């Protein structure tokens, strides 16, 4: 069974074709700068004799982009499928499922209406996710599609964790609450962690740290998300590449007044110019930041300290909520590869049963803990998780003859 996984953003599409018989990637790639004359396609087939393709050309819209993805997969020379019908199903990453979608679903007209209703919560993402679904309906007619929501895993957050302490009417009438994101990744690495320790997830207390350009941390109790650091939007919580994470909300009003900034500019300031970018005055890539820190640049050392301090604070808080901890997981770009950050975060955590082997940490090994609480570095694989959900749903469909 071949599943095409699509992550459709405003100006980019990431894709992977996964053979679910053995969960192997058949081909993957991405298109960037959709809408521009210098849009770029990067395609990587994982098959002997097939070559990578990089192409720069005009790509007007998502229609053209998805058509290019399909034609590249079908390409006589470097393609990996003969016919569109070699794609058995399509799995779409959808950012926001609101309170409507608590698990992955087969795409129907009703589901599309639901995704549309959730645009109010993710106006920058859901419209493009929906567009991807509609374009596939046109270009790959008859091939079933599945929606996998970033928010779904967090639907188990209890009211005490998801309701903001603002007048309750905003929750009841406007659905303003904490939703959480990165759910597919948190759920995937929590499952992998349980598999690794060979214990049922139902009996484990796990904290998962997804540290990428966007970062969030989740407390997983018995396989269920019970707390997570992103909230109504992905701005809440940890310090991120360009996002501030938690701040005193009064700062928004203060900044708007002090600098005479209109609210959209305050929004941009907190989402695009803050976090590591703001603290280092111009850098958000952790490789650059760590290089500077290692060369002794105080501003960069301080920025990394602030990042790690916030995360450490959350780990302590989540251990308190879980009433203990069996496994601490690091994942995504920084979580998987920044031994520098893990070293700071994990030091002085003996009270949680955490100690670690510095050499294993340095080598980014899978299992770096030496104390009773496991510390695991688990590569996330959101595409595979989406394909797994899609496969499960497709297999449950009635067979038509
Ligand atoms: P995204 O959220 O866009 O999927 P990733 O999970 O790929 O992001 O993570 C991107 C982050 O990971 C960047 O800040 C990048 O600098 C960081 N990163 C990648 N490789 C390393 C490395 N070897 N050491 C430290 N940080 C790294």
DSSP calls for 100-116: T-SS-EE--HHHHHHHH
Residues 103-132, mean pLDDT to the nearest whole number? 95
Q: Specify the DSSP class assigned to residue 365.
A: -
144 and 214 in a common domain: no
109 within a domain of the structure (yes/no): yes
259 within a domain of the structure (yes/no): yes
pLDDT of 17-42, one tens digit each? Answer: 999 999 999 999 999 999 999 999 99
116 and 237 in a common domain: no
Q: Which pLDDT score is estimated for 398?
A: 84
Q: Is the pLDDT of residue 173 over 90?
A: yes
249 within a domain of the structure (yes/no): yes
Q: Is the pLDDT of residue 59 over 80?
A: yes
Contacting residues for 15 by C-beta, under 8 A, at least 6 apart: 4, 5, 6, 7, 28, 29, 30, 69
Q: Which of 149, 166, 192 is the last residue of a domain?
A: 149
185 within a domain of the structure (yes/no): no
394 within a domain of the structure (yes/no): no
User: SS3 for 88?
Assistant: coil
387 within a domain of the structure (yes/no): no
52 within a domain of the structure (yes/no): yes
Give the confidence band of 257 by pLDDT, cuts at 50, 70, 90.
very high
165 within a domain of the structure (yes/no): no
CATH value at residue 249: 3.30.420.40
Residue of 286, 335, 383 to test ligand 1 pocket, by largest number of atoms within 8 Å of CB: 286
354 and 211 in a common domain: yes
Q: How many domains does one find in the chain?
A: 2
| Burial (CB count <10 Å: 0-12, 13-18, 19+), residue 200 | exposed
Instruction: Count how many residues are written for the chain.
Output: 401
Residues 189-210, mean pLDDT to the nearest whole number? 98
User: SS3 for 6?
Assistant: strand
232 and 122 in a common domain: no
Q: Is the pLDDT of residue 193 over 80?
A: yes
Global pTM value = 0.95
360 and 222 in a common domain: yes
Residues 159-175, mean pLDDT to the nearest whole number? 97
Q: Which of 149, 169, 190 is the last residue of a domain?
A: 149
100 and 204 in a common domain: no
> How many Å lie between the centroid of ligand 1 and the Cα of residue 87?
31
Closest Cα to atom 12, ligand 1: which residue? Answer: 333
Give the confidence band of 401 by pLDDT, cuts at 50, 70, 90.
low
365 and 222 in a common domain: yes
25 and 108 in a common domain: yes
pLDDT of 312-355, one tens digit each? Answer: 999 999 999 999 999 999 999 999 999 999 999 999 999 999 99
- Pocket of ligand 1 from Cβ distances under 6 Å: 212-214, 241, 285-287, 290, 332-334, 337-338
CA distance 301 to 350: 24
Annotated active-site positions, please? 150
> How many Å lie between the centroid of ligand 1 and the Cα of residue 48?
29
Q: Percent of the chain beyond pLDDT 90?
A: 98
358 and 262 in a common domain: yes
pLDDT of 258-293, one tens digit each? Answer: 999 999 999 999 999 999 999 999 999 999 999 999
Domain limits for position 293:
200-382
Q: Is the pLDDT of residue 89 over 70?
A: yes
What's the gap between Cα 31 and its chain centre? 18
Q: Which of 83, 115, 149 is the last residue of a domain?
A: 149
Contacting residues for 123 by C-beta, under 8 A, at least 6 apart: none
Residues 180-191, mean pLDDT to the nearest whole number? 98
Closest CA to 33 of 57, 4, 52, 67: 57
Q: Over the chain, what is the mean pLDDT?
A: 97
Q: Which pLDDT score is estimated for 399?
A: 76
376 and 299 in a common domain: yes
Give the confidence band of 124 by pLDDT, cuts at 50, 70, 90.
confident
205 and 142 in a common domain: no
Residues 285-311, mean pLDDT to the nearest whole number? 97
C-alpha distance from residue 360 to each of 3, 143, 287 (Å): 35, 45, 19
367 and 231 in a common domain: yes
Q: Which pLDDT score is estimated for 400?
A: 67
> How many Å lie between the centroid of ligand 1 and the Cα of residue 160?
32
């Amino acid at each position: 069974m071949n599943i095409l996984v699509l992550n459709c953003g405003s100006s980019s599409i990431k894709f992977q074709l996964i053979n679910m018989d053995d969960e192997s990637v058949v081909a993957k790639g991405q298109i960037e700068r959709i809408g521009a004359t210098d849009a770029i396609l990067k395609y990587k087939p994982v098959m002997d004799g097939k070559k990578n393709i990089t192409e720069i050309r005009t790509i007007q819209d998502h229609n053209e982009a998805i058509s290019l993805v399909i034609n590249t997969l079908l390409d006589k020379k470097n393609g990996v499928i003969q016919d569109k019908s070699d794609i058995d199903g399509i799995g779409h990453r959808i950012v926001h499922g609101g309170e409507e979608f608590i698990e992955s679903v087969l795409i129907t007209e009703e589901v599309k209406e639901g995704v549309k209703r959730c645009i109010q919560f993710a106006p920058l993402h859901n419209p493009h996710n929906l567009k991807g679904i509609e374009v596939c309906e046109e270009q790959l007619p008859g091939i079933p599609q599945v929606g996998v929501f970033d928010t779904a895993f967090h639907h188990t957050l209890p009211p005490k964790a998801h309701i903001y302490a603002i007048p309750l009417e905003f929750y009841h009438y406007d659905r303003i609450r904490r939703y959480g994101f990165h759910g597919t990744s948190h759920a995937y690495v929590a499952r992998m962690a349980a598999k690794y320790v060979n214990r049922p997830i139902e009996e484990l207390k796990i904290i998962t740290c997804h540290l990428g350009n966007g970062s969030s941390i989740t407390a997983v109790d018995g396989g269920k998300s019970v707390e997570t650091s992103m909230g109504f939007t992905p701005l809440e919580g940890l310090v991120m590449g360009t996002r501030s994470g938690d701040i005193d909300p009064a700062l928004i009003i203060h900044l708007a007044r002090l600098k005479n900034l209109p609210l959209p500019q305050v929004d941009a300031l907190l989402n695009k110019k803050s976090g590591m970018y703001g603290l280092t005055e111009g850098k958000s890539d952790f490789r650059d930041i760590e290089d500077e820190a290692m060369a002794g640049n105080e501003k960069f050392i301080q920025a990394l300290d602030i990042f790690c301090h916030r995360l450490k604070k959350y780990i302590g808080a989540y251990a308190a909520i879980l009433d203990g901890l069996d496994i601490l997981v690091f994942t995504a770009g920084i979580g998987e590869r920044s031994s520098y950050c893990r070293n700071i975060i994990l030091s002085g955590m003996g009270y949680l049963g955490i100690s670690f082997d510095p050499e294993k940490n340095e080598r980014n090994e899978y299992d770096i803990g030496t104390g009773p609480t496991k510390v695991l570095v688990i590569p996330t694989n959101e595409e595979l998780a989406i394909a797994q959900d899609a496969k499960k749903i497709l297999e449950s469909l009635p067979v038509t003859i």
